[in-house]
């Protein structure tokens, strides 16, 4: 076994990233936007009205019955897998660019697809037990599907409300959508173009998966797996929004996934990066010009390949500083080539909203600067390659 000539990379990049990260950790959160007194009063009135008329609601108009059935069909059709969900979010945004969250959802859903294929990619199959890989995939798939099942009917109701020029959000109940979002959509339809809608959508979707995914016994068992803790320690859960050239990529690291406050903060950070800074155009250009397949070769075909190269001989280091070595690429398969088990229910009601006064105080847009994401991502790759090579070398030594 020839010792790597590039080992200095791992002795510089990884420690450098570890040194830089605390400087961002101590930076304070910044409130970008919060509700004013008028918005608070309007929301409270709308929610009171929704609660008052929610009991015994039925649909008598044939036109609305047909709309409900059509939205259910379209949601089911587009909720086939991560590829179809991701495409549906982008398609909606192109028609309704005022609904910022749909593009944010598209980009986050792309990354969910990358996480899914990483589990079958270059390194993780040799580091994580097969049973845990299956569980990790199903957790990612279930969360991705649950959020879409809750959010997409809301988007289609808005589209039809816009077409008819009349609010149809009273129909939210027929899709098990929280009354919280019914009131928020009413505000948006009335003309509120502050960050209220995207901020509320981030809160709603994370609250939705909190009860039926994060707090489940299945998730807690997975969380306690040694392999799951290893993956989190390696800091491989970066959400990347590619900006070309690729080293200008923006994003944030997903840590503390089990904590709803941290998930909401992550969503808000990502929203601020896209829509409050000057990053939207290059990220949108990427999304428009690169079809989502789940392979990381979508955004970097120099480093990643969707096809697997046959391994020969002893394991060798593939990574250099911010690239792979000559004629080397990391295997990152297309999602539909490696996963065909998808989540199609059962889907539960989004019944988390019960305290309007408490949630009103939480509706605000907060941001906290994150470390250089491209450095963090590559440091994570080098960490995992180091662990991978050590395991391979140990197996070779054990055979001898």
pLDDT digits 0-9 by tens, 359-383 = 998 999 998 877 679 988 998 898 8
CB contact set of 149 (below 8 Å; sequence gap of 6+): 75, 79, 345, 347
pLDDT digits 0-9 by tens, 131-171 = 999 999 999 999 999 999 999 999 999 999 999 999 999 99
CB contact at 8 A, 295 and 334 = yes
- Residue ranges of alpha helices (H) inside 240-372 are 260-271, 280-289, 335-338, 356-360
CB contact at 8 A, 27 and 369 = yes
pTM for the model stands at 0.93
The number of beta carbons lying within 10 Å of the beta carbon of residue 166 is 9
Residue 294: in which H helix or E strand, if any? none
| pLDDT for residue 1 | 40
| pLDDT for residue 2 | 46
* Predicted confidence (pLDDT) at residue 22 exceeds the cutoff of 70: no
Task: For residues 346 and 121, give the distance between their C-alpha atoms in angstroms, rounded to a whole number.
Answer: 29
Give the pLDDT mean for 280-300. Answer: 97
| pLDDT for residue 66 | 95
Task: For residues 348 and 149, give the distance between their C-alpha atoms in angstroms, rounded to a whole number.
Answer: 10
Task: For residues 305 and 11, give the distance between their C-alpha atoms in angstroms, rounded to a whole number.
Answer: 26
| pLDDT for residue 278 | 86
The residue among 223 and 7 whose pLDDT is bigger is 223
CB contact set of 369 (below 8 Å; sequence gap of 6+): 24, 27
* Predicted confidence (pLDDT) at residue 217 exceeds the cutoff of 70: yes
* Predicted confidence (pLDDT) at residue 29 exceeds the cutoff of 60: yes
| pLDDT for residue 233 | 62
* Predicted confidence (pLDDT) at residue 3 exceeds the cutoff of 60: no
């Amino acid at each position: 076994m020839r010792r790597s000539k590039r080992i200095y990379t791992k002795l510089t990049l990884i420690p450098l990233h570890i040194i830089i990260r605390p400087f961002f950790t101590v930076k304070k959160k910044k409130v970008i936007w919060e509700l004013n007194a008028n918005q608070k009063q309007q929301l409270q009135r709308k929610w009171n009205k929704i609660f008052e008329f929610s009991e015994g609601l039925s649909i008598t108009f044939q036109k609305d019955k047909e709309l409900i059935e059509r939205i259910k069909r379209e949601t089911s059709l587009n909720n086939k897998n991560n590829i179809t969900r991701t495409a549906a979010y982008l398609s909606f945004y192109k028609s309704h660019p005022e609904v910022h969250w749909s593009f944010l959802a598209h980009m986050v859903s792309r990354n969910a697809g990358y996480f899914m294929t990483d589990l079958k990619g270059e390194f993780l199959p040799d580091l994580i037990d097969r049973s845990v890989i299956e569980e990790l995939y199903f957790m990612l798939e279930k969360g991705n599907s649950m959020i879409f099942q809750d959010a997409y009917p809301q988007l289609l109701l808005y589209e039809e409300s816009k077409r008819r020029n009349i609010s149809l959000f009273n129909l939210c109940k027929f899709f098990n959508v929280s009354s919280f979002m019914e009131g928020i959509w009413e505000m948006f339809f009335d003309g509120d173009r502050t960050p209220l809608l995207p901020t509320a959508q981030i809160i709603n979707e994370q609250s939705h998966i909190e009860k039926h995914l994060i707090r489940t016994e299945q998730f807690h068992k997975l969380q306690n797996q040694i392999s799951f803790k290893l993956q989190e320690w390696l800091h491989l859960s970066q959400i990347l929004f590619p900006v070309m050239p690729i080293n200008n990529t923006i994003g944030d690291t997903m840590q503390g996934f089990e904590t709803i406050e941290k998930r909401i903060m992550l969503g808000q950070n990502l929203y601020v990066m896209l829509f409050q800074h000057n990053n939207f155009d290059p990220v949108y250009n990427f999304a428009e010009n690169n079809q989502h397949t789940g392979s990381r070769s979508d955004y970097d075909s120099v480093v990643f390949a969707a096809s697997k190269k046959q391994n020969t001989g002893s394991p060798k280091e593939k990574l250099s500083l911010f690239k792979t070595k000559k004629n080397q690429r990391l295997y990152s398969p297309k999602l539909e080539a490696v996963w065909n088990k998808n989540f199609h229910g059962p889907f539960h009601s989004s019944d988390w909203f019960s305290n309007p006064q408490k949630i009103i105080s939480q509706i605000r847009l907060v941001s906290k600067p994150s470390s250089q994401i491209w450095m963090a991502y590559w440091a994570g790759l080098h960490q995992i390659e180091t662990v991978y090579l050590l395991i391979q070398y140990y197996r070779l030594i054990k055979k001898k």
